[in-house]
Each structure stands twice: as C-alpha cells, then as structure tokens.
Amino acid sequence: MRNRKWLILLLALVILSSTACGNKKTIEEPSSSDTSKDVAQEPAVPQKVDGGIFMLGIGSDPNVMNPLYAGDRVTMTINNAIFSPLYVIDEEGTHFYLAESITPSEDYLTYTLKLKSGLKWHDGEDLNADDIVFTINSITDEKQRANARGSFIIDGKPVEPKKIDDLTVEIILPKVSVPFIDVLGELRPIPEHIFKGEEDLAKSTKNLEPIGSGPFKFKEMKSGEKVELVRFDEYFDGKANLESIVFRVIADPNAANTALLNGELSARYITTADVDKFKADENFNVVLYKEGMLNNMVFRLTNKSLQNKDVRKAIAYGINKDELITGVYKSAEYAEKAYSVFVPSTQFYTDDVEKYDYNVERAKELLKNAGVENLKLRLAYINSSKENEGFALIMQQQLKEIGIELELLPMERGAFYDKLLDASNTDFDLAFNGYVMGVEPNGYKPLFKEKDYNNFMGYVNKELDKKWEEGVMETDKAKRAEIYETIQKQLIEDMVVYPIAYPNSIVAVNKKYGGIEEAKPAPIFMFRDLSKLYIME
C-alpha cells in the first residue's frame, strides 16, 4: 500500500488577498435599511477557520497502532495520521516527508538517506538516524515478524543500515533490488527510545499509546467507541488546520450513514446504493476516485478438497462475474471486472490471463474429474460490508448450480482479520478480501511467497518463488515485464485468489469541510494528508 505532499495554501491566500485589495471602495456610513438590503442580497461567503474536529467512521477498533504491523484499512488509516513515511514515489514523482533526499550509488547496492533537520517525535524527542537504523533492524529481525520483512530481505539476506551521522543513513544491499527505492520510501519509522529492549514489538503495551512523527498525535482510545488524535504543533510541515481527528467506531453501516446525515460524522465511505441519496443532499460532496484495489475471494488450502487445483478452477468457472458486478456495484462506473491478481495501475499489469468465463458445464466436468461431489464450503466475510454480503448471496446461488453448498459466515471485522491472517486457522474455506499493493509489482510477493506471514492462503509454488526473486534483481525493463506477466498468468492458472473487481472508492464529505484536493483522496487512507482539511464557516 503506497506521497503526494505537501500542497501549500499560499496561492489561495494570495488570491484572497489580491481579491480583497482589488475590491477596495470608499467607505461611507450605511443606513440601517442599506445594511439590511446588502446582507439580504450578498450572503456571507464561508471562510476557512483554524481548529475544529473531523470525525471519521470506522468499522472496528484498530489492531496494532504500529506501522510495522498494520495490515487492515482501519489501522493503516489511523497510523497514516500518526506516523509519517520517509517519502512516497507515485505516478506524479517523489514526495518527501521525513527524508530530505535519497541517493543510490552507481552500482545500486548502497542508498544514502538524508533526513530533514529538526524532526521531532510526538513526545518532543529528536527523530534521527538512530531511529531509522532501529526500525530497519526491527523489520529484518525474523523474531519480530514485521509485515514488510520480505521487502528488506534480498536473495535471502537482510539489508544493512549504517548510521553516518545524526541525519544520514546508508543502507547496503546484498544484491541489486530494483524496487528497493520505493520500498524504503514507504518506511514509517518507530522511535528507538520507546521500543528499545522490547522483546515482542507487536505485543508491546507501548503500541496502546503510540508515539509517532505525523501531523496528529495520539490522545486516547476507548475500545468499541473511538480513537482520538490531536494536532502536533511541531510537525515538520506546519501544524494541521484541524484541532483534532476522531475515529468513531460504528460497525453497522446503516447506523454510520445515519450518523453522517445527522452531523455526527464528517465523512465516510459509502456504497453505490447510497450515492444518489448523498448526491441529492446539498450538505454533502461525493468524491469518487480509483483506489487501486482488488476485491477478491481467497481459497484456504488447509481444506483438503481445495488443495486440488481443478476444484478451485471449477469454482471459478461456476461464478458469473457479470452478475456480481451488476448486482453489487450497479454499473461499471463504480467497478471494473478483474481478471489479474495485479491491478491496472501496477507496473507490468496484464489481463492476458485465463478469464474463467462463466461455464456451468465446464465447472461440473472439472468437479467430476476431481472425484468431488456434494461439496460443502464455508465462506467468511466482514459482517458490516454490504458489498461482501451482496457477493456472498449471489455466489451462494451460483455455486449451488454446480453442486456446491456454500455456508455463509459473516464475522465482526476484528475477528475476521484475526482468523484470516492466521494461515493455520480452519474455521472457513473461502474468504472475501481486498488489497492495495501499489504500483511496484514486487509489492505482491508477500501474498504468494511460501512461508511469508502475509501468505494466508497457504500457497506454495517454489518455481514462482524463484520468479519473484528474479523480478527484484532484473534491471532490463522488458525482461522484468516478461517475468511479472508470467507470474500473473501462473497465479491465475493455480487459482488461489479469484479476482472479482477493481472498485472505485466513494466518499461522502460534509460540505463544511474544505481542502479536499489538498488532502488528496488516496487508497486505503481515504485522504493522504488529513492535516490539509479545514472547516469553513
């Protein structure tokens, strides 16, 4: 997942200032009747104000407020406000946050990272090179089981960070890794002075009151109720416009919509079923943008029947994707049919893969050849997701036609992720999931590499594991493209993930909030930079 920072409001202020100067008139004492007339004819234009609260609805408590372990949308959204990245590379270029520069050596085996001066942690301590070295070493430490560990292990060996001075770190690679410069940028440092000596960073109680470096700092969390952040006045890019951000836990989507309409929430993701209602309401702006997400169904290979590839392929042929898209998203405006495990914005994406077009007879034939009949499977999904519920009900009827009985297991969000991320869990056989892995194709590797913590399907393909490593080290663009096209085709041939759709995100925002473009709607986080939002009165 994944910086388009920082758009400064100086231009807007200059325009306001010049407009004010250009409209000067001779001031005369108005009569009371003139005043009343002017007020009636010229309503006050809303002005940006300092302070205020922005309230976001979330479906559950965050899991671990530590960027080394965040893997779900709720936790990553909260962490995005608390922890700043070094830099982000996207289609628009490189956007620097904590870093001032990143310079590769001529042989691309050493990267020199320069931090901005004067960086502070939320507790007032200096953020420096020691924190970067500590964070990278924590990620590469196998005992810590950090999510991004696979990206910092190259050809089986960890990268080596070396402090040069308080603001400079050299990172030495064992072999050339083309995507490493992107990987490093997304690093969100954790404070050494807080976590040094902790045996298990994921379970540390320090995560309950996180100390970060972002525009907002942690204030309090009430489980099942809210997480509240307040602005950090010493933030390197200037203090936020808003005084605080409150993430309100509202699991039920209908209750969340009601809260948004009543002004108890400032913004939330909405579904296609809600779009017309919010577009018609003069109190809201509806923002639509590409998320770079793949909504999919994963096969849990702990199920003996699903270990047979023909059974998985039969299920794929038994699903009518057109019905899923029209039944859940209403139209192609809100979602595009997916065929690859990569999204279209990922480098070297291809849809030249097996499409598994709906074919009931082919599905039945594969099941017969596999010696499988009267198959019963359990499908898990988040109970608060209307999309998932829609997929489940449609798919349940479709698979019945090929002789598969689907038991639906809606789960509370937190419980669902706990079970999903545990590859050994056998409480279900299929699960709806969604992921945003970014523009660099190597970002998908952890999902499919043997024994990786993120490979919750239990998928094993040793030849493909080699291909992933080849893709990291190949510098020829055409050859890299060939490698990743082969990977996509093989993953679809093995059918461990069934691609459903590339959805657009739809967000309804109360019109009293400005700065939406500056905050930049973004995958996963809703807004890349919440500090740029402001209230207009």
φ and ψ at residue 127, rounded to 5 degrees: -100, 120
CA quadruple 378, 383, 388, 390: dihedral, nearest 10: 100
Strand 404-411 and strand 375-382: pairing?
A: parallel
Element (H, E) at 260: helix 253-261
Q: CA 404 to CA 417: how far, in whole Å?
A: 25
Closest CA to 81 of 533, 536, 535, 530: 530
Question: Do residues 525 and 531 touch, judged by C-beta distance below 8 A?
Answer: no
CA distance 110 to 188: 20
pLDDT at 6: 35
Residue 3 binned pLDDT confidence (cut-offs 50, 70, 90): very low
Q: Are the beta carbons of 212 and 116 closer than 8 angstroms?
A: no
DSSP per-residue letters across 138-176? HHH-GGG--TTGGGGEETTEE-EEEEEETTEEEEE-SS-
Altogether, the residues listed in the chain come to a count of 537
Q: What is the DSSP letter of 124?
A: S
Does residue 130 or residue 155 have the better pLDDT? 130
Q: Give me the pLDDT at residue 43, please.
A: 59
Please compute the mean of the pLDDT values over residues 293-312 and round it to a whole number.
Answer: 97
**349-366 pLDDT tens trace:** 999 999 999 999 999 999
DSSP string, 27-90: -----HHHHHHHHHHSPPPP-EES--EEEEEESS--S-SSTTT--SHHHHHHHHHHS--SEEEE
Q: Which fold has domain 45-83+214-266+512-536?
A: D-Maltodextrin-Binding Protein; domain 2 (3.40.190)
Q: Categorize the per-residue pLDDT at 46 as very low, low, confident or very high, splitting at 50, 70 and 90.
A: confident
Q: Which amino acid is at 505?
A: S
Residue 342 has pLDDT above 60, yes or no: yes
Q: Is the confidence at residue 117, as pLDDT, over 60?
A: yes
Over residues 103-131, the mean pLDDT reads 97
List b or e across 65-83, with b for residues whose CB sees 16 or more CB atoms inside 10 angstroms: bbbbbbbbbbbbbbbbbbb
Give the pLDDT confidence score for residue 44 in this predicted structure. 66
Q: How confident is the model at residue 42 (pLDDT cuts 50, 70, 90)?
A: low
Please check whether residue 224 is in contact with residue 59, taking contact to mean a CB–CB distance below 8 angstroms.
no
Kindly report the average pLDDT of the chain as a whole number. 91
Task: Name the percent of the chain lying above pLDDT 90.
Answer: 82
What residues does each domain of the chain span?
A: 45-83+214-266+512-536, 84-202, 295-504
CA-to-CA distance for 83 and 195, rounded, in angstroms? 15
Mean pLDDT computed over 46-69: 94
526 has a pLDDT exceeding 50: yes
pLDDT score at 41: 54
Fold assignment, 84-202: Dipeptide-binding Protein; domain 1 (3.90.76)
Sheet containing 534-536, strands listed edge to edge, beginning at the edge strand earlier in sequence: 48-49, 534-536, 513-514
- What is the band of 314 on the pLDDT scale with cuts at 50, 70, 90? very high
- Amino acid code (one letter) for 45: V
Matching residue, tokens 């489940």: 392
Q: What Å distances lie between residue 529 and 231, 245, 338, 503, 533, CA to CA? A: 12, 12, 29, 22, 8
Listed ranges 42-46, 144-148, 287-291, 485-489; the one with the highest mean pLDDT:
485-489
Sequence-ordered list of residues with C-beta below 8 angstroms from that of 433, at least 6 positions apart, any chain: 295, 296, 297, 298, 420
In this predicted structure, the answer to whether residue 26 has a pLDDT above a threshold of 70 is no
- pTM for this one? 0.79
pLDDT of residue 332: 84
Residue pair 193/125 in contact by the 8 Å Cβ criterion: yes
Query: What average pLDDT does range 468-482 have in this prediction?
Result: 94
- The confidence score (pLDDT) of residue 501 equals 97
The verdict on domain 295-504 having CATH code 3.10.105.10 is: yes
Residue-level pLDDT at 125: 98
